[in-house]
Structure 1
Amino acid sequence: MSTSRTPRVPLTPATLFRLKPLPQGDQAEADTGLNRNISTLQLTSFGVGATVGTGIFFVMSQAVPEAGPAVIISFLVAGVAAGLAAICYAEMASAVPVSGSTYSYAYATLGEVVAMGVAACLLLEYGVSTAAVAVGWSGYLNELLRDLHIPAIPHVLSAAPWDSDPGVVNLPAIILVAMCAVLLIRGASESARVNTVMVFIKLGVLAMFAAIAFSAFDAGNLSPFAPEGFSGVTLAAGTIFFSFIGLDSVSTAGEEVKDPQKTMPRALIAALITVVAIYVLVSFAAIGAQQASKFEGQEEAGLAQILDDVTGASWPSLILSAGAVISIFSVTLVTMYGQTRILFAMGRDGMLPKFFTKVNPQTLTPVNNTVVVAVVVSILAGFIPLDYLADMVSIGTLVAFIVVSAGVIILRVRVPDLHRPFKVPLYPVTPILAIAACIYVLSGLHWYTYLFFLVWVAVVVTFYLFWGRHHSLLNVTDDPLGES
């Protein structure tokens, strides 16, 4: 029996690059075991919630030392690359409205082995970004506790040899991951409602920051504008890009949204516009209010420190820290959600064990996946400092964006008559520009980021070659290429 279910598949191009059939007609909204009840506003909030926060609340301390005041341009460069890719995501999400995000899109357009390589990117970017956000959240939490005259949550026991301060575990980050896991296990709709509330709090807090920071705006802080030249701008854009993972998270909810072929493109575009506007506004205000040299080393609640310096009072930074604690919670929540749904899609396709397809009959959530993600992310967040994490997320996100943009072109050629409620404008110029922009941002990353990334992808592809391809559900379909 096991032999018939898991045949030994020959290692040939025909099997490595076989395509998953595209959902057509009623299949696009078929019952997959998940609960389809997320609205357009909630899905837009997923994108904003997973994006605004990571790039603003604490990545400035890494990006400004690299680019100087020209970090404003870095945000625009990253935003243009992400925007072009988001438009491509909108078409793919409307044409292939399923869970799994770029993994599922690659499976339908580029082939099984490429999909597994993309899955490696997604698992890396979601897992590491969740950990990076949790690390930054702990700084704002302890800043808030100090402002309230409550003892900060201590870092305890650890010995991470690569850490500049060995012997420390980031306990607040682990607590955050555990709280998000509990909420996700309770249900996707509950998580979506909580996230929407958090997003509105976040936008209000950042608007307050911009208003106060602009009151102390000093044009002298913009000079020298680009001390490291355009190479610094590019390097900072690569660092910043990890925060745009939130746009990808929208497409992980394809099987839990109402009317996905219309809802997903609308949510992607709305989230993109909101995110870029907030990033440019807040970064411009921050640079105008504080000299670029002071950003370095401000990982712990950097924006709150700016408000302290500007007002000389504690209440603005207290509000900002409270808002950051609440809103960065939403980033962790959504990125954890996205990773659990990618694991679900992979398990359903046979690329991972059936363990990852189990759905709780009461909550209709993949509890096993949530627990696994929480454990892995807790280890990363507890032991690895933030500056080791951001670039690893950026490279995974950029590769995923390139695959989606290429997938738009391939699918237009291979299945020109496929129903597409949303189409990329200025095709094929837009997807080509998206690919070029992402490659440009990739060029600014450190060499060791590529090394770690390639090792990780090699591990996942090796798993596929020895296990995944023999358990793929396409082994038992009559039309593995999906072209009948």
Structure 2
Amino acid sequence: MTQAEPQVEVSLSRNLGLLAVTMIGVGAMIGAGIFVLTGIAAGKAGPGLLLAFLLNGCIALIIGGSYAELGSCFPAAGGGYLWIKQGMNDLFGYLSGWMSWFAQSLACALYALAFGAFFGELLGLWGLDLAAGCTDIHHGCPLLHWTRVGLGVALAVTFTWINYKGSSETGLIGNIVTSIKIVILVVMAAFGLSLMFRAAGGEVSTIVESSFRPFLPFGIGGVLLAMGLTFIAFEGFEIIAASGEEVKNPTRNIPLAIALSILIAVSIYLMTAAVVIGAIDSGDPNVPVYQFLSTLGELGMVEVAAQIFPVGGKLMLILAGLASATSALNATLYGSSRVAFAMGRDGNLFPAFGQINPSTMTPVMAIAMSGLLVVIMAVSLPIEDVAASANIMFLLLFMMVCYSVVSLRKSRPDLKRRFTLPLTPFLPSLGIAICLVLAVWLASLSMIAWGIAIAWMVGGLTIYFVWILPNQTKWEVDPSRTVSESASVLTATGLPTVLVPVKDKFMASSVGALGSIFAHQRGHELLCMHVVRTPDMNTVRADMIDTSVTRVASRVSRQLDVNHRELTVVGRSVSQTISAKAHEYDTELIVFGWPGATVGSQHAFGSVIDLIGTNPPCDILVTHFNTLWRKPRRIVIPSRGRGANLRMSYEVTRDLMAFYRSEDSLKIHESPGSSQEEIQVKTIYVVTSDEERENTPLVKQTSIDLAKSMDVDTEFEVVEAANVEAGILHASRNADLLLLGASDEGYFTQQFRGSIPERVMRKTSANVIMSRKFQGPVSSMLRRFGLGGPREDQEVPNLDSE
């Protein structure tokens, strides 16, 4: 073995202070959206635009807190795509990336159309009147419309080419553009407020009465429309979370910078909204200002600047809008193409998206397709529909991020969180609810936008299930590296495998014994695997890893002469590595060990089990041993009379009974005569309501019939209890082994209370095996969200009675 190179830890320099990182967030938020959408939103909400901006700021604080927590857990590149993949499953990770790609492309189209509109106005200032003879410049002037669209498309094509060539906006230019935007808005707001106070003689009541009554001319519905339409103007705080490795004292500065940047942006937006409503004249005393602004559409802010600064104000605002739209399009097109590139590299899009041009060192296909999307959307849709579509996509993505905060609190308690969002899960759940309301409410503004969003998601799911999922293992880069492998046979057996992932020697003994028994009874090969997780596989050498863990797990398989294989693997993701090896070795059953006692009451079975269990590649068993594994004498199986998981519980019982009746069990039994003792099996039905009591004969008959079909003789007992959990615990108090079906309870039940099997596992003194039958990725996803028809056997209790 050659001498290993010295290991060097590579990290970014922490040189961003609180002020610097706050300004990054402010610059990202105060983009082209505020210049383009303020006038349109004023026409939807009237003076209620102020309330819309204020409420959007509150929602942004919740979502920003979610980004701060997740960004502190996963500082590497990937952002929401990575977080959702970790917090939900691979399907939703793919879907979030697919939606993020489209959302950012829609945002680019919005900025392109904004550029075209502002440049068209600039041409008018230069004497080229493209609207000459038009009575309605928004709907009856094709020359003006297509000139604006053409200018926007030209900008999009130009920056697509620039991104392909590898050039990008420099930090200096970005800072200059940001400063110009903020200064113009603040100066315009200050002068506008000054005009308002002078005109009212300094009386606030006069200002309110003359300009802000009625405050909600279109009701709360108008406010919701304005909120949904302008929410894209609050998108940008996630950049702060992505800067974690470069920020000084990130524990303090990242959440504080997110909060400060949102508060600064909201303050500027509120001043701008007040001036837009109260400082200008519609020219007709019978026409409210907000109605006047609605006729101007995306150029409403230009008119505001022209009235506040009669000399040069219009030109100043146009130039600021052009600079803002240009920088925003460039940055967002870069981000959009990199999302597509990351998905292609990870095997979640076609491989061409993940390829880099060797001469320009840029992802050509990802950039080209992103640019094409921008052009198609800009040419096909009016600016309001583009904005609504982008906002719908971002709102749905933010919902997934909020969900992931709650999910990862349970499934990944081991993550190092430099910041935690307070009042979890209530604040993330509130964020989910509000984002959903805003997204749905946007349908009243543009059904086309929702149609586009649904079509894009359906198209993405079709691509995923038809092309990507069947080819994913072939396309994706292998996320692991095997550093040690040994086997009882030198050549491949071609047998299916029972996979036993082990973390330490304590758990390896019992889990390995159980896995060996199932492999023996089913004629399978045993695969014992120890995964060492590391972000950078190149920093780990084989001689640094304890490869004896798998030797402990395979001890019983050697006693039973079961073909076995021992793997020690280094991988970036334990769950992905296990899934990949399960596919590679034709695994039909995975047996996990759950320590239970090492995880607090607010957490689930652990990151790996939860991530794989939501969309398992095969049948899985989750074991929890209160004592070392030995032959069970009394097995208890809770039942609802039906279901794939109940059938699997009886299959487990059948294999155990058959094994301990065989002479091979003499090789491993713990005490003399134990192999002659027959295993007693009891099926229990927990009754918590009169309706369930009436179902007792049917449940009894179907349970006994199912057990007999598995060659299992079982007693049947009805247990009256206040809730399912209490009934199971009471009935199993003298049992050696409790067999449970995995829970398919809904999101809120599991987040607030935990699943029934999990709660039972924590409290029982018996050893526990929880089963989940593989039924395909679509069925797993639908059952998880309550859309897959009747739930399985013991995991379908009457939860309301609890």
How far the C-alpha of 1:300 sits from its partner, in A, is 4.7
Aligned equivalent of 1:426: 423
How far the C-alpha of 1:59 sits from its partner, in A, is 0.8
Partner SS for 2:344: helix
Flag the 1:244–1:365 CA change in 2: closer, same or farther, 3 A: farther
Whether 1:479 and 2:578 are equivalent positions in the alignment is: yes
- Identity of aligned pairs, percent? 27
Of 153, 156, 169, the residue aligned with 1:174 is: 153
- Are the counterparts in 1 of residues 405 and 428 from structure 2 also a CA contact under 8 Å? yes
Of 229, 232, 237, the residue aligned with 1:242 is: 232
Flag the 1:465–1:273 CA change in 2: closer, same or farther, 3 A: same
Q: Report Cα offsets for 1:104-157 as digits up to 9, x if no partner.
A: 21111101111222223212321111101211122222323433x2647x79xx
Aligned equivalent of 1:71: 49
Aligned equivalent of 2:110: 132
How far the C-alpha of 1:285 sits from its partner, in A, is 1.7
Letter in 1 for 2:230: I
Of 230, 233, 236, the residue aligned with 2:220 is: 230
Whether 1:412 and 2:378 are equivalent positions in the alignment is: no
Aligned equivalent of 2:370: 373
Whether 1:330 and 2:327 are equivalent positions in the alignment is: yes
Whether 1:212 and 2:210 are equivalent positions in the alignment is: no
Partner SS for 2:297: coil
Aligned equivalent of 1:303: 301
Unpaired stretches in structure 2, ≥5 consecutive residues: 1-6, 132-138, 197-206, 281-288, 479-575, 581-606, 610-802
- Are the counterparts in 1 of residues 347 and 468 from structure 2 also a CA contact under 8 Å? yes
- Are the counterparts in 1 of residues 160 and 368 from structure 2 also a CA contact under 8 Å? yes
Choose between structure 1 and 2: higher helix proportion: 1
- Greater shift, 455-464 or 299-308, is seen at 299-308
Structure 2 distance, partners of 1:48, 1:444, is: 27
Alignment of structure 1 residues 117-128 onto 2, 5 Å: 117-128=95-106
Structure 2 distance, partners of 1:475, 1:363, is: 22
Partner SS for 1:372: helix
- Are the counterparts in 1 of residues 164 and 363 from structure 2 also a CA contact under 8 Å? yes
Alignment of structure 1 residues 74-89 onto 2, 5 Å: 74-89=52-67
Of 112, 124, 127, the residue aligned with 2:90 is: 112
Letter in 2 for 1:429: F
Aligned equivalent of 2:291: 293
Aligned equivalent of 2:568: none
How far the C-alpha of 1:226 sits from its partner, in A, is 0.7
How far the C-alpha of 1:56 sits from its partner, in A, is 1.9
Whether 1:339 and 2:318 are equivalent positions in the alignment is: no
Letter in 2 for 1:455: A
Whether 1:452 and 2:551 are equivalent positions in the alignment is: no
Aligned equivalent of 1:200: 179
Partner SS for 2:379: helix
Structure 1 distance, partners of 2:55, 2:318, is: 28
TM, length-normalised to structure 2: 0.51
Unpaired stretches in structure 1, ≥5 consecutive residues: 1-25, 156-162
How far the C-alpha of 1:419 sits from its partner, in A, is 1.1
Q: Report Cα offsets for 1:212-238 as digits up to 9, x if no partner.
A: 221332441212211111111112111
- Are the counterparts in 1 of residues 14 and 248 from structure 2 also a CA contact under 8 Å? no
How far the C-alpha of 1:249 sits from its partner, in A, is 5.5
How far the C-alpha of 1:359 sits from its partner, in A, is 3.6
Partner SS for 1:271: helix
How far the C-alpha of 1:95 sits from its partner, in A, is 1.0
Aligned equivalent of 1:55: 33
Structure 2 distance, partners of 1:230, 1:248, is: 29
Structure 1 distance, partners of 2:323, 2:299, is: 13
Aligned equivalent of 1:160: none
How far the C-alpha of 1:278 sits from its partner, in A, is 1.9
Aligned equivalent of 2:387: 390
- Are the counterparts in 2 of residues 249 and 334 from structure 1 also a CA contact under 8 Å? no
Structure 2 distance, partners of 1:361, 1:426, is: 49
Whether 1:282 and 2:272 are equivalent positions in the alignment is: yes
Structure 1 distance, partners of 2:365, 2:316, is: 36
Q: Report Cα offsets for 1:299-321 as digits up to 9, x if no partner.
A: 3532221222234x231222121
Letter in 2 for 1:174: V
- Are the counterparts in 1 of residues 193 and 275 from structure 2 also a CA contact under 8 Å? yes
Structure 2 distance, partners of 1:303, 1:245, is: 20
Partner SS for 2:294: coil
- Are the counterparts in 1 of residues 32 and 328 from structure 2 also a CA contact under 8 Å? yes
Partner SS for 1:446: helix
Aligned equivalent of 1:16: none
How far the C-alpha of 1:97 sits from its partner, in A, is 2.4
Structure 2 distance, partners of 1:264, 1:55, is: 24
Flag the 1:54–1:234 CA change in 2: closer, same or farther, 3 A: same
How far the C-alpha of 1:57 sits from its partner, in A, is 0.7
Structure 2 distance, partners of 1:433, 1:294, is: 35
Flag the 1:465–1:140 CA change in 2: closer, same or farther, 3 A: same
Structure 2 distance, partners of 1:391, 1:205, is: 26
Structure 2 distance, partners of 1:268, 1:184, is: 28
Flag the 1:417–1:460 CA change in 2: closer, same or farther, 3 A: same
The alignment's C-alpha RMSD in Å is: 3.4
Aligned equivalent of 1:98: 76
Letter in 1 for 2:321: A
Q: Report Cα offsets for 1:32-75 as digits up to 9, x if no partner.
A: xxx99996777655543443234321212321121111111111
- Greater shift, 56-65 or 394-403, is seen at 56-65
TM, length-normalised to structure 1: 0.81
Higher relative contact order, chain-length normalized (CA < 8 Å, sep 6+): 1
- Are the counterparts in 2 of residues 128 and 389 from structure 1 also a CA contact under 8 Å? yes
Choose between structure 1 and 2: higher strand proportion: 2
Structure 2 distance, partners of 1:177, 1:97, is: 31
Q: Report Cα offsets for 1:397-421 as digits up to 9, x if no partner.
A: 1111111111011111111121122
